[in-house]
Amino acid sequence: MDAQTLVDERGDLWLALAPLWLDREPSERDYRHMVEVIQSHDLTLEELEWIFRLELAPVLSRHQLSVAGAWQRFDDYQLMKQLVAHNLRLSGWRRRVWALFSGLTTLMTRHRWTELVERVAVARGQLPQ
């Protein structure tokens, strides 16, 4: 898959989910936006989990651990470059390594992810409100 295809297929989803890694709790508006973007993609909750763990967490968790990381918002252009570069290399052994370490890279945002998945499930009628 080439860079432009990645941006076309995942770019809006990646940028919508990036606030999960900021140094603030996502607002109601952030969560609503994330749910809307997720709903516009034809993805199962399991597919979303793997996007969270393999496509996003390896890049965005580095921002959380960096003293000079983004705290209030990300530079969308720089973030997209990092995400595309990571995902172009994400195959074979790299995919297996990130899957193995995904528990660590998602540890600091897991509670936010759980909240988001519950909201998506409610929006899809899979959970009672």
Q: What is the pLDDT of residues 87-114, one digit of tens each?
A: 999 999 999 999 998 988 899 999 999 9
Percent of the chain with pLDDT over 90: 74
CB 53 within 8 A of CB 105: yes
Q: Kindly report the number of other CB atoms within 10 A of residue 12's CB atom.
A: 13
- Three-class secondary structure of residue 120 per DSSP: helix
3-state secondary structure of 70: coil
- Confidence check: pLDDT of 72 > 80: no
Least reliable range by pLDDT among 27-31, 53-57, 125-129:
125-129
Distance CA 16, CA 22 (A): 12
